[in-house]
């Protein structure tokens, strides 16, 4: 058999193996999700609607729901603008400037005000008249704030750290990701985390729920994805009182209870979710996840 035929056979074999691997991984994710489905979760890999964003939102990051006007609001990663999005078709209705260029990551609508967080922990308060004022927190650039949510029970903004979990040298937080609460009444950041999601708790969930018949190499892949969990968006499901935290790194959706216990881990289809950055619910509990246009067009996925 000559070299040309050998090379051709090798190429065919590799191509088949890749297709088989993709199919097997999809089945494994489905098995994992199905075994742990509580009946309240969303099938995050089967959106009911897909909205393609314009080039202005190629680097869409944060996402929130304006319950006064019944619209979605989104923020672009680098521009000091937020965008009002139609709930019927995903079209941008309005673009509003609130600040200079910066690394904007999260947006949250609360009591007619809009809050936008920078990755270094600074918050911009955008009032109904369009004027913005800065709010400084104890969070810093190495905390790398990517997620911004709101907890009505404590009247606090929730800031999810993608990077360093500590805000002081006296804290003893090991191998965990944290979410801090900023009290909107006292304008202060709580010194201790509001939520602490440890690697140990994520591993424990996976070990308890994964299909035990999977081969060791596949289980290792799942463990690696879980280990890389780093929040990029956070929102509260008010009906279940659970926090939904999306992670672009590892492509995960982690559902967390108020005591930081893990309710569920869902593995996002990497072909569908190129770079999940924002997450929110509307008043009807429809779920929205925004993805940056890492390989082209940014998208928002809608789940009924």
> Would you kindly state where each structural domain of the chain is located, as residue ranges?
47-303
- Quickly state the pLDDT bin for 294 (edges 50, 70, 90): confident
* pTM, full prediction: 0.88
SS3 255: strand
Q: Are 63 and 73 in contact (CB under 8 A)?
A: yes
Q: Phi-psi bin for 39: left (phi > 0), alpha (psi -120 to 50), beta?
A: left
| pLDDT score, position 15 | 46
- Mean predicted confidence (pLDDT) in 75-102: 92
- Percent helix, percent strand, percent coil in the chain, to nearest 5: 20, 40, 40
Model pLDDT, residue 79: 81
* pLDDT category of residue 138 using cuts at 50, 70 and 90: very high
Confidence of residue 105 (pLDDT cuts 50, 70, 90): very high
Q: How confident is the model at residue 215 (pLDDT cuts 50, 70, 90)?
A: confident
Q: Are 73 and 66 in contact (CB under 8 A)?
A: yes
pLDDT at 237 > cutoff 50: yes
Which of 201-215, 225-239, 273-287 shows the lowest mean pLDDT across its residues?
201-215
Q: Tell me if 177 sits within 8 A of 234, measured CB to CB.
A: no
Say yes or no: domain 47-303 is CATH 2.40.128.630.
yes
Q: What CA dihedral angle connects 249, 268, 247 and 73, to 10 degrees? A: 130
The predicted pLDDT at position 16 comes to: 45
Residue-averaged pLDDT of the chain: 88
Cα–Cα distance between 74 and 291 in angstroms, integer?
11
Residues 6+ away with beta carbon under 8 Å from 281: 65, 235, 236, 237, 238, 244, 287, 288
pLDDT of residue 17: 40
What digits encode the pLDDT tens for the residues 162-177? Answer: 999 999 888 888 899 9
How big is the chain, counted in residues? 304
For residues 73 and 107, is the Cβ–Cβ distance under 8 A?
A: yes
255-281 confidence digits (pLDDT tens): 999 999 999 999 999 999 999 999 999
d(CA 233, CA 22): 27
2-22 b/e with 16+ CB inside 10 Å = b?
A: eeeeeeeeeeeeeeeeeeeee
For the CA atoms of 143, 247, 244, 203, what is the dihedral angle to 10 degrees? -100
């Amino acid at each position: 058999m000559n070299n040309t035929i050998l090379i051709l056979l090798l190429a065919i074999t590799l191509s088949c193996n890749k297709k088989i691997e993709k199919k097997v991984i999809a089945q494994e994710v489905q098995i994992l999700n199905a075994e742990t489905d509580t009946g309240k979760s969303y099938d995050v890999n089967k959106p009911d609607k897909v909205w393609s964003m314009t080039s202005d939102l190629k680097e869409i990051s944060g996402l929130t729901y304006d319950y006064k006007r019944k619209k979605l609001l989104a923020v672009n990663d680098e521009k000091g603008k937020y965008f009002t999005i139609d709930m019927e078709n995903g079209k941008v209705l309005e673009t509003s400037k609130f600040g200079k260029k910066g690394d904007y990551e999260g947006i949250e609508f609360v009591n007619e005000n809009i809050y936008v967080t920078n990755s270094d922990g600074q918050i911009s308060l955008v009032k109904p008249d369009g004027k913005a004022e800065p709010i400084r927190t104890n969070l810093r650039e190495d905390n790398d704030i990517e997620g911004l949510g709101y907890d009505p029970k404590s009247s606090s903004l929730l800031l999810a750290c993608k990077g360093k979990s500590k805000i002081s040298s006296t804290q003893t937080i090991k191998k965990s990701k944290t979410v801090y609460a900023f009290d909107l009444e006292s304008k202060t950041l709580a010194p201790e985390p509001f939520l602490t999601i440890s690697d140990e708790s994520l591993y424990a969930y996976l070990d308890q729920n994964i299909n035990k018949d999977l081969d060791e190499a596949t289980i290792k892949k799942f463990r690696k994805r879980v280990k890389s969990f780093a929040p990029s968006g956070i929102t509260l499901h008010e009906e279940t009182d659970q926090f939904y935290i999306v992670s672009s790194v590892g492509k995960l959706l982690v559902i967390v209870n108020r005591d930081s216990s893990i309710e569920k881990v869902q593995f996002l289809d990497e072909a569908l979710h190129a770079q999940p950055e924002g997450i929110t619910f509307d008043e009807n509990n429809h779920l929205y996840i925004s993805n940056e246009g890492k390989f082209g067009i940014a998208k928002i996925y809608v789940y009924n």
